[in-house]
Amino acid sequence: MTNRLHVLAIGNAIVDVIARAEDTFLADQGLVKGAMRLIDEAEATRLYGLMGPGREVSGGSAANSIAGLAALGAKVGFIGRVRDDQLGGVFAHDIRALGVEYTTEPATDGPATARCLVLVTPDGQRTMNTFLGASTQLSSADIDAAQVARADVLYIEGYLWDAPAAKQAIVDAIRIAHRHGNRVAFTLSDPFCVDRHRAEFLDLVRGHVDVLFANEVELKSLYQTEDFDQALDQLACVCDIAAVTRSEHGVVVLTPEERHIVAAEPGVTVVDTTGAGDLFASGFLHGLTAHRPLAECGRIGCIAAAEAISHIGARPEADLKALVAARLG
Amino acid sequence: MTNRLHVLAIGNAIVDVIARAEDTFLADQGLVKGAMRLIDEAEATRLYGLMGPGREVSGGSAANSIAGLAALGAKVGFIGRVRDDQLGGVFAHDIRALGVEYTTEPATDGPATARCLVLVTPDGQRTMNTFLGASTQLSSADIDAAQVARADVLYIEGYLWDAPAAKQAIVDAIRIAHRHGNRVAFTLSDPFCVDRHRAEFLDLVRGHVDVLFANEVELKSLYQTEDFDQALDQLACVCDIAAVTRSEHGVVVLTPEERHIVAAEPGVTVVDTTGAGDLFASGFLHGLTAHRPLAECGRIGCIAAAEAISHIGARPEADLKALVAARLG
C-alpha cells in the first residue's frame, strides 16, 4: 500500500523563539533550568521583551520528532493546530517542506499560533516557556480517521494534556489506531507535565500505550520514586516497549522480557539540548517501523539525538539519513 | 553629551528567511548566485512554497551593520519601517534587544513586513530574494531631525533607492547631518542595485557622501569599467574615505592621499556569506567613530566580517567586542 505512513503524530504546533541567556537571567526570572513551563500571552509578551535577539524556528515536541523521521526518510504525517497568522504560516511551510503530510486547517479566530520562548544557557541547557495559543484549539474534528488508520504508529506527546480540548481527540485517535492493528506511542514530555497529569498518564501507560518514551526524571516522577531501578521494574510490567533516556548515560530499552543498555554517542559537544528527546524518538521509531532489533532502535535514536544537541535548535541540520548509515556501519 | 550616537542608520527593515538550497534549485529558478533581486508578494509566496524549512532572523543590510556596531559596544540608532504584524514585532524586538534606539512607528496598513528569502548553497554563497513590503512606506515623517543631529555618522544603504518614497527622507536626513557637522556614510549595496540607480549613486558619491562602502563588483558597476585600479582612481578623486572589499583578497581603504591594503582574516571557514559586507561596515565605522587609524578601521571590519561568515545568518553570534580586542592584540 503506497499511502501507508510509518508514523502519524499529534502534537502542539509551536514556533520556537530561541535566544541565548545567562544563568543570572534565569535566576532573576525565577525559571527552572531545563524545564518547560506554560505561560499566558501577557507573560509571553513580558518575557519576550526582556529576552535577547532570537531566531524563529518551527518546533513542537512531536513535530520535531516527525521532522527527524522525515529527515531519516520515513513517511510521516502531523496533526496540530496553528492560527492563520505569519508564524502559523511558518510552521505549516516548514513541516510541509520536509515532505510531511500536514492538513490540519489553521484556526481563523482565537489565540495566535503557539510560541515557545527557549532560553539557551552557556552550558547548552534549554529552558522553555510555552504560550500554547492556537494549539489548544485542536479537537476531534481535526482527526482524520482514515489518516490514523494508515499509520503504523500513532505518536502522541504528553504536552497535549495541557490543552484539555485535545484530550477527546486523542482518545478517539488511539481507539482508531488500535482498531486497525496499529501501535500507539507516547512520550511523557516533561517531569512537570507528568506532575500535572499523573493519574491520566498512569492509566494511559497501563492500558493504551504500546511504546513509551520517557527520560529518567519523568519516569521517576510518574512513579513518584527516587529509585530508578524500581521505576523501571514497574514500567516493565505494564509496557510492551519503553525507551528511557538518561542524557550522557545513554538509554535503557525495555520490554517485559528484555532490557538493553545503549550508550550515548561519544564525542558530542553540547551546544543546545533542545530537541534531544524529540530526535531520540525519531530515530527509535524509525528503527521500530523498519523492524530493526530494539537495541539498534536505541542506537539510531542516540545518533539522531546527538545531531540535535550539536547545534542551536531542535530540528536536524545535518543529513540524518547519511549520518545514521555511516554510524551504524 | 551622553545622548550622542556613534552611528544612526536608515535602511530597509527586513526579516530574513534562511534556508539551505542546492545549486540545481538556483538554476531551476533562474536565480543569479550571490545577488539580491527584488520580488513582489506573489513571487515571495511562490518561492517560499518551493524552499526548504527555514529559520527567521532579523536582517536588513544597514540594520545588520547596526546590530554589529551594538555588539561592538557602540551607541547606535536605526530608522526603518515594518508593519504591525508578527514579523514586524520580531524585527523590532531583536533590534531593541541589542540596545539600539529604534522608534520608527510600524505601519498600520499596506503591505506586510519585508522578507528576504535567503538561499544558502553548499559553498556558503547566499542568494537573496527580497519582498520590500512595508519598508517602502518609509517617508520624511519618519526622520527625527533631533536624532539625526545627535549622530556622528549617518549611515545609508543603497538598497533604499529601490523604495522610491524613501528618497526624499534620505535627502532630508543627509542635509540635517551635514548641517550639524556629522559625517554621511553610504553603501552601494549590490551590483544590480548600482545598475538600477547609477546616475543618482554617482551624484551621491560625488557630492554628498563622506565615507563610501563598496565591494569590487559594485565599484566596477558604478564606473562601468572592468579595470579595478581605474575605478579606484576615479573614486579617490571624489570621496573623502572609501573602503572597497574584495572577499578573501581583503580590503582597499583609500582617501585622496592614502591607500591601504588590509588582508582578510586568515583561517576562516565560510559557512554563509550573508552579512559579510554589512559586518565589515560595522567594524570599519566602529573604528572610525573611535578615531582609529584607517588601516585599523579596515582590520576591525575584516574581523567582524569573518565572524559573520563563519555561521548561518548575518548578525553576530560570538562576542564581537572580545573577538576584536583579542585579534587586534
Asked if residues B79 and B142 have their Cβ atoms less than 8 Å apart, the reply is yes
In tens, the pLDDT along A166-187 reads: 888 999 999 999 999 999 999 9
Determine the structural domain holding residue A56 and report its residue range.
Answer: 5-328
The per-residue pLDDT for A274 is 86
Contacts with B95 from chain A: Cβ below 8 Å: 53
CA of A310 vs chain B CAs: smallest distance (Å): 14
Is residue B72 situated within a structural domain? yes
Mean pLDDT of the region B298-304: 97
**Considering Cα of A210, then A213, then A214, then A215, what sign does the dihedral take?**
positive
CA of B55 vs chain A CAs: smallest distance (Å): 5
Contacts with B93 from chain A: Cβ below 8 Å: 48-49, 51, 53-54
CB contact under 8 A, A48 and B93: yes
Query: Tell me, what CATH number does B304's domain have?
Result: 3.40.1190.20
Residue B277 has pLDDT above 60, yes or no: yes
- Among A55, A117, A317, pick the best mutation site for testing chain B contact (most B Cβ within 10 A): A55
Helix/strand/coil (H/E/C) assignment for every residue in chain B:
CCCCEEEEEECCCEEEEEEECCHHHHHHCCCCCCCEEECCHHHHHHHHHHCCCCEEEECCHHHHHHHHHHHCCCCEEEECCCECCHHHHHHHHHHHHCCCEECCCCECCCCCCEEEEEEECCCCCEEEEEECHHHHHCCHHHCCHHHHHCEEEEEEEHHHHHCCCHHHHHHHHHHHHHHCCCEEEEECCCHHHHHHCHHHHHHHHHHCCCEEEEEHHHHHHHCCCCCHHHHHHHHHHHCCEEEEECHHHCEEEECCCCEEEECCCCCCCCCCCCCHHHHHHHHHHHHHHCCCCHHHHHHHHHHHHHHHHCCCCCCCCCCHHHHHHHHHC
Query: Closest residue of A to B56, CA-based?
Result: A56
Contacts with A85 from chain B: Cβ below 8 Å: 85-86
List residues of B whose CB lies inside 8 A of any A CB.
Answer: 19, 48-49, 51-58, 67, 85-87, 90, 93-95, 97-98, 112, 313, 315
Strands B36-38 and B126-131 come out as parallel
Q: How many domains, chain A?
A: 1
Contacts with A57 from chain B: Cβ below 8 Å: 55-56
Is residue B123 situated within a structural domain? no
Residue A1 has pLDDT above 80, yes or no: no
Query: Closest residue of A to B87, CA-based?
Result: A86
The per-residue pLDDT for B329 is 76
The values of phi and psi at residue B272, to 5°, are -160, 115
Comparison of pLDDT for A167 and A104, the residue scoring more: A104
Query: Closest residue of A to B55, CA-based?
Result: A57
Is residue B183 situated within a structural domain? yes
Take residue B84 and report the three cell numbers written for it: 504591525
Q: Determine what percent of chain A is predicted with pLDDT higher than 90.
A: 90
CB contact under 8 A, A97 and B58: no
Contacts with A48 from chain B: Cβ below 8 Å: 93
CB contact under 8 A, A94 and B57: no
Quick check: helix, strand or coil at residue A167?
helix
CA of B219 vs chain A CAs: smallest distance (Å): 33
Average pLDDT score, chain B: 95
In tens, the pLDDT along B175-212 reads: 999 999 999 999 999 999 999 999 999 999 999 999 99
The per-residue pLDDT for B74 is 98
The values of phi and psi at residue A211, to 5°, are -130, 120
Residue B1 has pLDDT above 60, yes or no: no
Mean pLDDT of the region A260-285: 93
CA of A6 vs chain B CAs: smallest distance (Å): 21
Contacts with A95 from chain B: Cβ below 8 Å: 53
Is residue B23 situated within a structural domain? no
CB contact under 8 A, A57 and B56: yes
Average pLDDT score, chain A: 95
pLDDT band at B274 (very low <50, low <70, confident <90, very high): confident
In tens, the pLDDT along A129-152 reads: 999 999 999 999 999 999 999 999
CB contact under 8 A, B53 and A97: yes
CB contact under 8 A, B54 and A112: no
Mean pLDDT of the region A292-301: 97
The per-residue pLDDT for A273 is 87
Is residue B89 situated within a structural domain? yes
Query: Closest residue of A to B49, CA-based?
Result: A93
Mean pLDDT of the region B30-43: 94
CB contact under 8 A, A58 and B53: yes
Is residue B222 situated within a structural domain? yes
ipTM for the predicted complex comes to 0.90
pLDDT band at A2 (very low <50, low <70, confident <90, very high): low
The per-residue pLDDT for B232 is 96
A-to-B residue pairs, Cβ atoms closer than 8 angstroms: 58
Take residue A250 and report the three cell numbers written for it: 545513554
The per-residue pLDDT for A208 is 95
pLDDT band at B2 (very low <50, low <70, confident <90, very high): low
